[in-house]
Structure 1
Amino acid sequence: MSGKTKVAIIGSGNIGTDLMIKIMRLSKVLEMGAFVGIDPNSDGLKRAERMGVPITAGGIDGLVAMPEFKDIGIVFDATSAGAHKKHSEILLAHGKRVIDLTPAAIGPYTIPPVNGDANLDALNVNMVTCGGQATIPMVAAVNRVTPVHYGEIVASIASKSAGPGTRANIDEFTETTSEAIMAVGGARRGKAIIVLNPAEPPLIMRDTVYCLTDDADQDAIRQSVAEMAAEVQSYVPGYRLKQDVQFERIGDNAPLRIPEMDESFTGLKVTIFIEVEGAAHYLPAYAGNLDIMTSAALKTAEKIAMRSLERTDA
Structure 2
Amino acid sequence: MNHKVKVAIIGPGNIGTDLMFKVMRNSKHLEMGAMVGVDPTSDGLARAARLGVATTADGIEGLLKLEVFKDIDIVFDATSAGAHKAHNEVLQAHSVQVIDLTPAAIGPYVIPAINLEAENATNMNMVTCGGQATIPMVAAVSRVAKVHYAEIVASISSKSAGPGTRANIDEFTETTRSAIEKLGGASRGKAIIILNPAEPPLIMRDTVFVLSEIAEREAIEASIAKMVLDVQAYVPGYRLKQKVQFDTIPADQPINVPGLGLMHGLKTSVFLEVEGAAHYLPSYAGNLDIMTSAAMTCGDMMARRRIASGIARGKETV
TM-score by length of 2: 0.96
The alpha carbon displacement at 1:252 in A equals: 3.0
- Counterparts of 1:1-314 in structure 2 under 5 Å? 2-119=2-119, 121-259=120-258, 261-312=259-310
The alpha carbon displacement at 1:284 in A equals: 0.5
More contact order relative to length (CA 8 Å, sep ≥ 6): 2
Report the more deviating stretch, 246-255 or 234-243: 246-255
The alpha carbon displacement at 1:262 in A equals: 4.6
What do the CA deviations read for 1:134-175 (whole angstroms, capped 9, x no partner)?
001000000000010001100000000000000000000000
Contact 1:145 1:220 in 2 (8 A): yes
Quickly say closer, same or farther: Cα 1:262–1:227, change in 2 above 3 A. closer
Contact 1:215 1:268 in 2 (8 A): yes
Amino acid of the structure 2 residue aligned with 1:241: L
The alpha carbon displacement at 1:73 in A equals: 0.1
For residues 115 and 257 of structure 1, the distance between their equivalents in structure 2, rounded to whole angstroms, comes to: 31
Structure 2, unpaired ranges of 5+: 312-318
What do the CA deviations read for 1:261-310 (whole angstroms, capped 9, x no partner)?
25011111000001000000111000000000000000001011111111
Q: Secondary structure at the match of 1:19?
A: helix
Contact 1:2 1:309 in 2 (8 A): no
The alpha carbon displacement at 1:40 in A equals: 1.1
Amino acid of the structure 2 residue aligned with 1:70: K
Q: Secondary structure at the match of 1:157?
A: strand
What do the CA deviations read for 1:231-279 (whole angstroms, capped 9, x no partner)?
00010000000011100011134321112x2501111100000100000
Contact 1:100 1:125 in 2 (8 A): yes
For residues 181 and 79 of structure 2, the distance between their equivalents in structure 1, rounded to whole angstroms, comes to: 25
The alpha carbon displacement at 1:2 in A equals: 3.7
| C-alpha RMSD over aligned residues | 1.0
For residues 236 and 260 of structure 2, the distance between their equivalents in structure 1, rounded to whole angstroms, comes to: 39
For residues 290 and 40 of structure 1, the distance between their equivalents in structure 2, rounded to whole angstroms, comes to: 23
Percent identity at matched positions? 67
For residues 213 and 85 of structure 1, the distance between their equivalents in structure 2, rounded to whole angstroms, comes to: 36
Structure 1, unpaired ranges of 5+: none
Amino acid of the structure 2 residue aligned with 1:157: I
For residues 138 and 41 of structure 2, the distance between their equivalents in structure 1, rounded to whole angstroms, comes to: 41
Q: Secondary structure at the match of 1:210?
A: strand
Q: Secondary structure at the match of 1:188?
A: strand
For residues 290 and 153 of structure 1, the distance between their equivalents in structure 2, rounded to whole angstroms, comes to: 17
Q: Secondary structure at the match of 1:310?
A: helix
For residues 86 and 214 of structure 1, the distance between their equivalents in structure 2, rounded to whole angstroms, comes to: 43
The alpha carbon displacement at 1:28 in A equals: 2.3
